[in-house]
Amino acid sequence: MKIASIQATRKLSSLAAKVDRLAGTVPLHQAYILLHSHHSPRTFPSRVASPLLLELRRQALRWSALVNFAWIPSNTVGNGPNPPPDGVGDSDTYDLLAFSRDRTVLQIPSLTMNNLGDACTRLDGHLKGTPASMVDQDPNGSLFLYVCTHGARDCRCGEWGTKVADALREEVCRRKEIEPTGKYSRVVVGEVGHVGGHQHAANMLVFPRGEWLGRLRPEDVPRVLDVIVGQPLSVELSGSPLVHTHWRGRMGLTKDEQIRQSANPN
């Protein structure tokens, strides 16, 4: 009876550890493609029906890329993409940003179903081309921070995601006012649709590093922002996790590699 009780306790402990684990919750991907809409994910339905999104996701399988919708306010100071004009979102027109490991950011404006073929040709050449070295990438390029605010998909993203996104935008704006041409001038704050892992809300994607952070709260924003801005825009696959206590994983790593990386940081 005692042995059975010990075994049951071990199983419960193992289950609790899996449920509590944050590192190792990012699916393996080599690139992340964002379609920038005029509308915030806060207004999205639970599942967004878009022929362009579905076709691009089908094409993206060959690049091992994830595809998602995103939004950046039109009054953002920085080098983010311009959102389509009012009403254009209804006709499936988006500005595309593609992030991938060891490559510069690719921007394709005004993407539609009509020019999707040409865009995929550009994406294919970019994502399969020769990677840039770490030193070749612009150290003064934009730093993109996307918070999942897709509340219709899960209420936790609606609650914590919106609070963190608002707190992050306010904090970045405050720091930009203090240092208009300083390091925060290159920070672009956006919002993103469903990324997976509702239980880890609020979730944040950090590009071009390709880091995923989770379990963020508004009070975490100043400290997390300090850490992110203090790091290079690029990171080696074997590099230490960014903000270890909130680190979910990194673009280019398998889930097992993410777990090992978190357990044995450099």
Question: CA 84 to CA 77: how far, in whole Å?
Answer: 17
pLDDT for residue 76: 47
pLDDT for residue 138: 58
Question: CA 64 to CA 222: how far, in whole Å?
Answer: 33
Question: CA 164 to CA 231: how far, in whole Å?
Answer: 21
pLDDT for residue 5: 52
Q: Which of 85, 90, 92 is nearest to 113 (CA)?
A: 92
Question: CA 209 to CA 251: how far, in whole Å?
Answer: 8
Tell me if 200 sits within 8 A of 248, measured CB to CB: yes
Q: Is the dihedral of CA 213, 45, 143, 221 positive or negative?
A: negative
pLDDT for residue 84: 44
Question: CA 54 to CA 251: how far, in whole Å?
Answer: 21
List average pLDDT for each run of 10 residues in the chain, which is 266 residues long.
49 44 96 95 92 96 97 62 44 90 91 96 90 53 96 95 98 96 95 96 97 98 97 90 96 96 84
**Burial of 256 by CB count in 10 Å (0-12 exposed, 13-18 middle, 19+ buried)?**
exposed
Question: CA 67 to CA 82: how far, in whole Å?
Answer: 18
pLDDT for residue 102: 80
Question: CA 146 to CA 250: how far, in whole Å?
Answer: 15
Tokens 């009509």 correspond to what residue? Answer: 114
